[in-house]
Amino acid sequence: MEKTLAIIKPDAMRKKMAGKIIDRIYEKGFNIVGLKMLQLKENQANEFYKVHAERPFYKNLVSYMTSGSVIVAALEKENAIKDWRNLMGATNPAEAAEGTIRKDFGENIEANAVHGSDSPETASTEVPFFFAD
């Protein structure tokens, strides 16, 4: 079994889409092995997104991710990372495939409803960032 991290971002939380997103997670056969709602503090968001620290969008990303509540989830299933990435859709909702979470619930490239680990290496640091073993 593989684990990946999912975050339901502030835009989806404000639009009250968390339940619909969680329903889709279950419909695709994921097990939710960790789940919590929280408000990221600036220092947490800085640390979590430090891989993007040199990019021009970093400050806006941190500001956005601390702008409201999020739900973080540890998902588990065979091929969890790939399957979650497919369910999320392309980063830009305008380019995402029909029926994906970002196409259906995302607003733009930043406010795109959800986050997911992009590789096993990333998942191995992102999941423990929010969840103990």
Catalytic residues: 115
Longest C-alpha distance within the chain, in Å? 37
Residue 97 burial (10 A CB sphere; 0-12, 13-18, 19+): exposed
Torsion sign, CA atoms 4, 102, 93, 54 = negative
Containing 114, the helix (H) or strand (E) segment is strand 114-116
What the block records as the tokens of 132 is 């103990």
Number of neighbouring beta carbons within 10 Å of residue 87: 21
